[in-house]
Structure 1
Amino acid sequence: MAIDRRVVDSFVGNRITGDRTRIGWIGDLISQCLHSLQLVEVVVMSWLLEQPGYAIACGSLGAAAFGGAWLRTGNQRWLVVAATVVVGSGALVVLERWVETDREQVHSVLLTVVDAIERSDVDELLRHVHSDATDVQSDVKQHKGTITFETVDIKSNLVIRVDQHADVAIAEFNVMLVFQLRRERLRRTLARYVQVWFRRDGGRWRIDRYAHWHFTDGLRKRRPRMPAAIRTRGHAGRRNGEDVSLS
């Protein structure tokens, strides 16, 4: 019985296409898994570098446990393991002193900005504003000489989130402000919930956008959040309840 050549070609072609589809799907799955592992590695390393106390605690517990096992059994292997744990935890502590994570860099910039605001140092403040953030620059220049901040007290609910892939970070916190207007002698106190967006510029984090709401928003479980599209230029954010643009 003769076999139609077209049937064979069609079967083989469909088989090859199906294999390629499966190979492509497997490749995508492996790529996603590797990407997830890289994210986990970044998060874990940042956590260890920012919290050296955990490394010290783990090193102390590990040294005590393995050292105790060596004393009970006399096996030199436990002594080697205990020494390795001590050296490893010590290396993490030393590394924490040398390496500054993105979150720590953002925190440092935020504290520098707060200090500049309290000293009414406009030039220092503008040095930490992104060159494209013209609206922020205008706000700073507009309030120059019109208001004096005596205290800018960031509260303990400060949270800093960093997106390494988009080079974007956001700091959100409650703040207590003590200030005085130039035309008034009366000191005022104001509590607000603030979000400050940062963008990496030439290896340095600079302010790109800020927003503030009633202080109770910082105490709620569901707070106002940075839209996902913040990483793209021209996104419309919100400040003081009004739509504003990043461009």
Structure 2
Amino acid sequence: MKMDQPRPGGGDPEESRLHVAVIMDGNGRWAKNRGWPRLVGHRKGAERARELVEACPRLGIRYLTIYAFSTENWSRTTEEVLGLMSLFGRYIKREASRIKKEGVRMRFIGDRDPLDPKLQALFEWIETETAHNDRVHLTVAINYGGRDEIRRATQSVVRAVQAGTLDPDAITDRTLSAHMDTAGLPDPDLVVRTSGETRVSNYLLWQAAYAEYIFTPVLWPDFTPDIMAGFIETYRQRERRFGAAPA
């Protein structure tokens, strides 16, 4: 399937840089409601993620960051965790050619060390293969937690100070951002969470400080690009003041 073409007349450089982050929640419940195993819901959720990536140019989304597996998800059953890890690997192998051809740059954030070495190698391979793509920047958070990311970034900054390459008095917000997993990416403009939950679940805690949030009761396997289009219109109607007084 071809990725959608950019929206007619969409020449606004700010729109073309729109960064949307998604907490893809509700896969298990979607399957349970139908009497199916949870992994069926995850497979359907992966299809929805693919559809959203394909629709990004039409929607004006340049950067899409999706929450696929959190540091807390290890508490799920061994069967579900192994099934999810297998799904990630199959997705990369199956979609690699299309992703590369359609100009998608793929990145992974999170702590990779606990993951299977073969999966880590796949991550590195697809990141290298798509490194020069710039049409859509797809970032997948796997074994990711916002607090864990801040901890690892802080450790990196401390090591730089100890090595004498960083002056503690020169540390700014930008310094810490440069040590985050998302270094080089713009902060998200809009965060969407599906399934009716209204919490941020340890997702992009540093980066989403000034993001707009939308929570929807729609379960992720039922979420469509058209629903996202409506949310983007809602986002564009909001006044973002970043702490300033209204005009």
TM-score by length of 1: 0.23
Higher strand share: 1
Higher helix share: 1
Higher relative contact order (CA 8 A, sep 6+): 2
TM-score by length of 2: 0.23
